[in-house]
Structure formats: C-alpha cells, structure tokens
C-alpha cells in the first residue's frame, strides 16, 4: 500500500512538472501552429483591458482588433498592426501602427510559449503571468 501511494505521488509530481514546461516544437512548427486568428481578453501592465482578436499572418504581419477599457473606465475601439516571429520558443511582437497610442517608446514584446495546440495556446508574459488564447473559427 505504501509503495502504491509513493508511486501515485511521484506520478502526480511528474504531471504537475509537465504542465509548466515549454513546448518542444521547432520555431518553424510553432510559427505554423500560431498562424490564424485568436481571442484576446487581457489586461496589460498599465491596467488597460483589451478584448478582441489577434491575427498572426504567414508573412510576419500581426493584426490586433477589438475594444479596450482604460483605467478611467473609458472604452474605445482599437486597430493595431505590427510584426511577429518566433525565436527560441518565444513569441516576439512589435506594434508598428496603432489607432489609439503613440509608438515612440514601443518595446518588442517577448512572451514564452508554454503550449501550443490546434485550438489554443498558452504563453507566459514578462511578468510571469500565464495567459491562454483560443483559436477563432
């Protein structure tokens, strides 16, 4: 009985560890899996809440479209575009055109892709927070 409990505990530890590992796809395979439209529902580091769609195109262009709610409660639509690529299992994006903000000091965002399936992908942002996006039909 004791051996059974120890085995069960070890199996649980392995399962928990596997859920936090990075994907083991090549950058090319990961890029191919990310191509398409995905849902957005995220609050950025400035407290702005975004809802909408992000589309990764095969030519390295990324499009963001939806609505945002600022910390003041003001809502507005947004249409942004930029460039994207995958490098060392990190999704790198840079906004190059924005309908609502100045891009003078816009950084390149670097998100670690933790898992990528056909229907969803999970990434860890630079604050260590996990986010999951679902593929749009």
Give the number of residues written for the chain: 137
Annotate the chain with DSSP letters as a single string. -HHHHHHHHHHHHHHHHHTTSPP---HHHHHHHH-EEEEEEEE-TTS-EEEEEEEE-TTSEEEEEEEEE-TTS-EEEEEEEEEEEEETTEEEEEEEE-SSS--TTPPPEEEEEEEE-SSEEEEE-TTS-EEEEEB--
The residue segments making up the domain with residue 49 are: 23-134
55 is a domain residue: yes
CATH number of the domain that 125 lies in? 2.40.128.540
9 is a domain residue: no
- Tell me how many domains the chain contains: 1
Nearest in space to 101 (alpha carbons), one of 126, 84, 76: 76
Structural contact between residues 137 and 119, judged by C-beta atoms closer than 8 angstroms: no
7 is a domain residue: no
54 is a domain residue: yes
CA 53 to chain CA centroid, nearest Å: 12
> What is the model's pTM?
0.80
Whole-angstrom distance, CA of residue 40 vs CA of residue 26:
25
Structural contact between residues 46 and 55, judged by C-beta atoms closer than 8 angstroms: no
Say what the pLDDT of residue 19 is. Answer: 45
Whole-angstrom distance, CA of residue 82 vs CA of residue 35:
14
Print pLDDT tens along the chain (137 aa): 555 444 444 444 444 444 444 457 899 999 999 999 999 999 988 899 999 999 999 999 999 999 999 999 999 999 999 999 999 999 999 999 999 888 888 889 999 999 999 999 999 998 999 999 999 98
Say what the pLDDT of residue 94 is. Answer: 96
């Amino acid at each position: 009985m004791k051996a059974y409990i120890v085995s069960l505990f070890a199996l649980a530890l392995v399962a928990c560890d596997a859920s936090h590992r990075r994907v083991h796809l090549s950058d090319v395979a990961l890029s191919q899996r990310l191509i398409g439209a995905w849902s957005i529902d995220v609050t950025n580091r400035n407290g702005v809440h975004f809802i909408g769609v992000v589309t990764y195109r095969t030519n390295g262009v990324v499009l963001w479209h939806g609505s945002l709610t600022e910390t003041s409660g003001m809502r507005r639509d947004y249409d942004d575009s930029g460039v994207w690529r995958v490098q060392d299992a990190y999704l790198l994006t840079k906004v190059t055109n924005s309908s609502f903000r100045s891009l003078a000091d816009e950084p390149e965002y670097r998100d670690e892709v933790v898992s990528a399936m056909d229907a969803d992908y999970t990434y860890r942002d630079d604050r260590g927070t996990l986010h999951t996006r679902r593929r749009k039909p």
